[in-house]
Structures are given as structure tokens and as C-alpha cells.
Amino acid sequence: MMTHAAYDCEVLVIGGGIVGLSTAYAITRTAPGTRVTVLEKERGPARHQTGRNSGVIHSGIYYRPGSLKARFAVRGAAELVDFCAEHGIAHAVTGKLIVATERSELPRLHGLVQRGREHGLPVRELGPAQIAEYEPHVRGLAAIRVGTTGVCDFGAVAARLAAEVDGAGGQIRYGAAVTAIDRRPWGVAVRTADGRVVRARVLVNCAGLHSDRIARLAGDEPGVRIVPFRGEYYELARERLVRGLVYPVPDPAFPFLGVHLTRGFDGSVHIGPNAVPALAREGYSWPVVRPRELAATLTWPGSWHIARRHWRYGAGELHRSVSKRAFTQAVRRLLPEVTEDDLRPSTAGVRAQAVLRDGTLVDDFLIREAPHTVHVLNAPSPAATAALPIGREVARRALLRARATGWKPPAVESGHCV
Ligand SMILES: Cc1cc2nc3c(=O)[nH]c(=O)nc-3n(C[C@H](O)[C@H](O)[C@H](O)COP(=O)(O)OP(=O)(O)OC[C@H]3O[C@@H](n4cnc5c(N)ncnc54)[C@H](O)[C@@H]3O)c2cc1C
């Protein structure tokens, strides 16, 4: 039996992206005095998905009622706006248009109207003339406007969460890559690349693109593999062509929303992301190849099922990735005036997409537990929007697991997350 003093902390979080930091934040709020440590391999927070995304506060309109995505995104969007306002973080609630450019998309657009209303969202249907009132340079057959969508600086949100954790007595160690995890009857012992060991009652895995590997290091078979999909962006030189946020009608076969036009919190306009396979988990451009990571993707049967099922769509995405002309052509469906000269390459992001053995792209957030471990195995978009409620849910599970080791919270829980 380990004594309380022999543990370095109660809860050890791997990953200093928005989900890991929100989890640590929720623990400091709901069970103050609980010892929590975050290990992040980079030199600061939000260096991967959290700092390389579209920066959109999603309304929740797309997500199946009853799913974790729907529950957490609708609530998370409102909480995130409050959090940004409270902490002086750049944000704006701008609303967005979802635009149908082909007749075949109209039934799906109508389906989104119904879904938005089920979620209690302010949704307005627009014809071509009304589209032009919002976005004079965008063309479409019909559109809907969702009033609660916005933009924010997710990197700044993550940095603020880190500061709050630090201020509440939590520890955040940057440059601390987890390389080994030893599972014991009393908890976990985690080793970082510099040889240091942290002992904890519960391990929380929020390692994003590496979450399946961390689960296996801990001795838990995740049942999924992370298949990395890069999303490439261009920056629009003639910013005046886009006033706000403009999305296509998404293809229900994919969990990605399609190339959209986004005026960010800083006024710049980005166009993207597409979805191409990345040749490394942090493969932000074609030349970045990690043979071992690529081999892990290729030996997962699910990857081949995806390739067989979606080769036509994938071939189109690959073509648009290597040909700026083809990309521009695709964007012209929404924004006919855009030219190749208007588009400047911008930073890319890589999505951590969990894939089942049979090739199913996991759509909802996926959290799996085992004794002493809680693994966040699928936290794709809108997880940045939904980070505050997701963090509370993961914290709730971690605290229950910590109690199962005989530990009692040092302070009365506020009930906030339970
Ligand atoms: C192109 C793109 C566009 C998107 N657009 C949006 C959007 O507009 N709105 C929205 O809500 N969501 C969006 N998302 C999704 C959103 O960015 C993610 O859902 C969210 O950032 C996930 O956060 P995370 O903390 O799980 O992962 P991450 O931010 O990737 O953090 C994981 C962290 O774990 C660390 N880590 C990994 N392995 C180890 C290890 N061994 N030891 C220590 N640390 C480790 C990594 O360094 C990383 O910092 C987008 C994502 C992408 C890629």
C-alpha cells in the first residue's frame, strides 16, 4: 500500500493541448487542493491541434442529438464565449452561413435546419439575394445562417487555462515527453525523456495525435488507431471578398466539414482545410515522413478499409493538395471571384482521427477507462469549442478513479462537474 506522500500527484495529465489543460483546470475547480500535474512534450501549450485549427467556435448544429459532440458543443460554445470575455481573450460571435451550391445539397441543408432547431439554435433560411446581403461575393442556391457561431484565439484560451491551473497550485511541465508508463496495483509510474518519474493515482491521456500510443504504453488496448489527416490552408490576399464564416454543406460520409472561408479573430481570412493523409502524426507538410508512424498506420486494417471505401474522394483531395489550380477551382464554387494569385499558402494542422479496425471513422468523442487510467481517444472538431465541458467530464471520471484508490478529496467538491 502506497502512502499519500509517496504519490507525486493524484492525477497526472499527459498533453498540454486544450483538452488536457481544461481537464486539469476542472480538477482545480471541482476538487481544490487535489494535486494535479500536466506533462507536455513541447516547450509551451497548444503547439499541435489546438494551435493549428480554424479558430471557429462551433454552434453544435451538425451533431446528432444525444451525442457527446452535440451535448458538449452547444454548451461549450456558450461557456467559451463567457470564458474569453472574462479573461480578455480575442473572440467574436459573428454567425455563419452554410451554403448549398448544388441542388443535390438542398435536402441536407434542410436537414441541418431541422437539427439546428432541435438544438434550440437561432437558424435562418436564406435565398440567393439574402446570401448576398451577408456575403456579397459568395454565390449559392440557398443557405442557412446560424447566429451563435463565432471565432476565438484557441491558443490564448489554452494559455489562460494553463495559467489558471498554475495559479491554483497545479504543476505544468513543458519539455516533458512521456516515454514509458508502468502500471502498478496502486496507480501509475510515468517516465519522461529526461529520466524523471512521476507517480500518480490516475493517469489521464489527452495526448491528441499520440493518444492511442499512450494508451498502449499504459497497457490498455485502445481498440482504435489514430490516423492523421492533414488539413492545409491558404490565406486570402483580398480579404474584402469574405466578411465572416462561410461553410459548404458537409458530406455526411466524413467527419470533416469541408473547405470553408473563415475570417478569424485577427481579421485575416483563411480558406481550408482540405483532408489528406499525413505521412507522420505531426506531418504538417508532404516532406515530413516518419517511417515507423507511417508503418503503424498502414498495418492497421482500418486504414485499408478507408482507402477502399473513399479512394475517389481521397484522390480529389490529393489532387487539390498538390495543385493550387485545382484547389482554387474548388473554392470558386462558393467564391467565384477568387483567383490563384489571391491564395497564399498558410500553416497546416493535422487532425487526430480515431479509426476502428473495420475502417469506421469514429465520429463522436471517445473516452475509455480502465483501473487508474482515463483515455481521451477521439477529440476531433469541435473539441476545442467543447473543451470546458469535455474537461469537466474527464475530470469527473479521473476523480472517481482516484477515489477508488482510497483517496479522499482534500476539500468539499463544488458539485460543478458531478
Ligand atoms: C485543421 C483543423 C481544424 C480544426 N478546426 C476546429 C475549429 O474550428 N473549431 C474547433 O472547435 N475545433 C477545431 N479543430 C479540432 C480541435 O483543434 C481539436 O479537437 C482540439 O484542439 C484537440 O485538443 P487536444 O488537447 O485533444 O489535442 P492537442 O491540441 O493536439 O494536444 C495534445 C497534446 O499532447 C501532447 N503530447 C502528445 N504526446 C505526448 C507525450 N508522449 N508526452 C507529453 N505530451 C504529449 C502534444 O504535444 C500536444 O500538445 C480543428 C482541428 C484541426 C486539425
Q: Does ligand 1 have an atom closer than 6 angstroms to the CB of 391?
A: no
- CB of 335 within 8 A of CB of 137? yes
CA of 59 to the centre of ligand 1 (A): 19
pLDDT of residue 51: 98
Residue with CA closest to ligand 1 atom 50: 53
Per-residue pLDDT band at 416 (split at 50, 70, 90)? very low
Give tens-digit pLDDT for 315-356.
Answer: 999 999 999 999 999 999 999 999 999 999 999 999 999 999
Rounded-to-integer distance, Cα 156 and Cα 55, Å: 11
pLDDT of residue 411: 59
pLDDT of residue 361: 94
Domain with CATH 3.50.50.60 in the chain: 4-49+155-223+364-413
- Cell 497546416, located at residue: 348
Structural Rg of the chain based on CA atoms: 22
CA of 123 to the centre of ligand 1 (A): 29
Entry pTM: 0.96
Amino acid identity at 390: I
pLDDT of residue 410: 83
Residue with CA closest to ligand 1 atom 31: 17
Q: Which atom of ligand 1 is nearest to the CA of 20?
A: 25
CA of 53 to the centre of ligand 1 (A): 8
Q: Does ligand 1 have an atom closer than 6 angstroms to the CB of 56?
A: yes
Q: In the CATH scheme, what architecture does the domain 226-356 have?
A: 2-Layer Sandwich (3.30)
pLDDT of residue 252: 82
Amino acid identity at 24: A
pLDDT of residue 254: 78
Residue 122 zone, left/alpha/beta (φ > 0; ψ -120 to 50; rest):
beta
Q: Does ligand 1 have an atom closer than 6 angstroms to the CB of 39?
A: yes
Q: Does ligand 1 have an atom closer than 6 angstroms to the CB of 259?
A: no
Q: Which homologous superfamily does the CATH classification assign to the domain defined by 4-49+155-223+364-413?
A: FAD/NAD(P)-binding domain (3.50.50.60)
* pLDDT over 80 at 14, yes or no: yes
Q: Does ligand 1 have an atom closer than 6 angstroms to the CB of 22?
A: no
CA of 110 to the centre of ligand 1 (A): 31
Per-residue pLDDT band at 414 (split at 50, 70, 90)? very low
Domain with CATH 3.30.9 in the chain: 226-356
CA of 384 to the centre of ligand 1 (A): 8
* pLDDT over 80 at 115, yes or no: yes
CA of 349 to the centre of ligand 1 (A): 9
- CB of 62 within 8 A of CB of 98? no
Terminal alpha carbon distance of the chain: 28
Residue 295's contacts (CB-CB under 8 Å, 6 or more residues apart) are none
Query: Which DSSP letter does residue 299 get?
Result: T
Question: Minimum mean pLDDT among 86-100, 198-212, 250-264, 382-396: which range?
Answer: 250-264
Give tens-digit pLDDT for 216-248.
Answer: 999 999 999 999 999 999 999 999 999 999 999
Rounded-to-integer distance, Cα 323 and Cα 311, Å: 18
Per-residue pLDDT band at 418 (split at 50, 70, 90)? very low
pLDDT of residue 1: 67
* pLDDT over 90 at 11, yes or no: yes
Give tens-digit pLDDT for 256-306.
Answer: 889 999 999 999 999 999 999 999 999 999 999 999 999 999 999 999 999
pLDDT of residue 4: 82
Q: Which atom of ligand 1 is nearest to the CA of 207?
A: 34
